[in-house]
Homo-oligomer: A and B are copies of this chain.
Amino acid sequence: MQASETSMTDASPRGSASRLEKWLIPLIFRATGPVPVRIALGDGPGVAAPGIAPRFTVRVRDLRTLAQIALDPEVGFGDAWMSGRVELAGDLVAFLEAVYHAGGNSDRGWYSRLASAWMDFWQANTLSGSRHNIHSHYDVGNDFYRIWLDRQFVYTCAYFPSPSATLEDAQTAKLDYVCRKLRLVPGETVIEAGCGWGALALHMAKHYGVRVAAFNISREQIRLARERARAEGLADRVQFIEDDYRNASGRFDAFASIGMLEHVGRANYSEFGRVIHRLIGDRGRGLLHFIGKNEAGTFSRWIRKRIFPGVYAPSLSEALEVLEPMGFFVEDVENLRPHYARTLEHWLERFDKSSAAVTAMFDPPFERAWRLYLAGSIAGFRAGPLQLYQILFRGSQFAALPWTRAGLYEAGNAE
């Protein structure tokens, strides 16, 4: 049952807002800052944030839901949205952007901090914890991801040579950009930590003549990746290993990890650095591509609760805790923030077109939760603290460095 189909008659009547509304709704605005929204209980007139003309209306189905949102705005709203107990008049992405623009800091209250610490504990990325966390997101089913990802199943930020590039082209351009940053040479060996459905490993082997060992603990992803390697005749050059990156061994020329640092957990950064150094030593080089933030802070608790258990988006200086203790040299950091907003716009558009199929495959709360997650991520990359960093680094003895970055952008290089 979706909230938009519900007649909201079980709350206060139209007219003046009840005393409870007048008490609870300002509590929400105290946390969120001046969002241009009117919040109403049922069909009531609601309360708007002071000092700003409302551009949106949020109708909350019942008092209990309103109280939950007042206690914990982010998780309360997310869960209410997911279960259809709120409805929004206005565009969801634009509304979430407005929330970011209001600049509240609801994650700094005592309740949020306590809940966040507790979440860190029970979602810890130990070997078994990671397996559980990853399974719950990436093993939802390949057919689901097929609906809204590109043909190659690349579930990370694309690289748009121009904003009008198609998603398919932009994902291929990203794979190639990573290979060029790493300056892969035929015959070299690459280790990939967290390989998704295998697109990068296959691209590297096919277009750069390298051998790749690609790790992933998502069974569904590995299964499809292996099928693709066989179908493309690359099974002898790309090994997809269903195991934790921490169990990798051997010595490689290059390391790559695209969209996995988010799942490592900050407590494990120094171990991650030691693993990378064990695998490439001082003569190798590597690339980390990950969602980060402009300043350190907790990650959305609703996303952690409903979408990505164990996820954390570090600030750039936090991410350097992986590399600096091992003496790696940081060669190049690029922030692809607008590219992720664009990527997510493509995903949401495809998702929305197939929302009936998603609902049929799962249920309405699942469809609503994922729509909120995709829309919220667009807002986070447009107006919030989310950044997409690519860090290229090398061991102190890696010698084959380009003199400048110009070669990355020479005609013929961009695909």
Contacts and interface: CB of A to CB of B under 8 A. Distances in A.
Interface of A: 159-163, 294-296, 315-317, 320-321, 324-325, 327-335, 337-338, 385, 387, 389, 396, 401, 403-406, 408-410, 414
Given A330-B389, A338-B401, 8 more contacts: A159-B404, A162-B403, A294-B327, A296-B324, A330-B335, A333-B333, A334-B405, A406-B414
Contacts of A333: 330, 332-333
Contacts of A337: 329
B320 A324 contact: no
Q: Top 3 A-B pairs ranked by shortest CB distance?
A: A333-B333, A317-B320, A317-B317
A325 B408 CA distance: 32
Number of copies: 2
Nearest to A403: B163
Contact of A320 (B315, B332, B385): B315
A328 B406 contact: no
Given A160-B403, A403-B163, A331 B335 contact: yes
5 contacts: A163-B403, A294-B330, A315-B320, A320-B320, A330-B389
Contact of A329 (B321, B329, B387, B410): B387
A401 B414 CA distance: 20
Given A294-B324, A295-B325, A321-B317, A332 B330 contact: no
A409 B405 contact: yes
B329 A335 contact: yes
A341 to B, nearest CB: 12
A200 to B, nearest CB: 19
A334 B334 CA distance: 9
Nearest to A163: B403
A330 B292 CA distance: 11
Contacts of A324: 294-296, 315-317
A264 to B, nearest CB: 17
B329 A332 contact: no
B405 A328 contact: no
A174 to B, nearest CB: 12
Nearest to A296: B324
A294 B406 contact: no
Contact of A327 (B295, B325, B334, B406): B295
Contacts of A162: 403
A328 B294 CA distance: 7
A396 B335 contact: no
Contacts of A404: 159-161, 409
A334 B403 CA distance: 12
Contacts of A317: 316-317, 320-321, 324
A15 to B, nearest CB: 40
Contact of A332 (B163, B335, B338, B410): B335
A283 to B, nearest CB: 14
Given A403-B162, A409-B405, A334 B335 contact: no
Nearest to A328: B294
Contact of A396 (B294, B321, B330, B401): B294
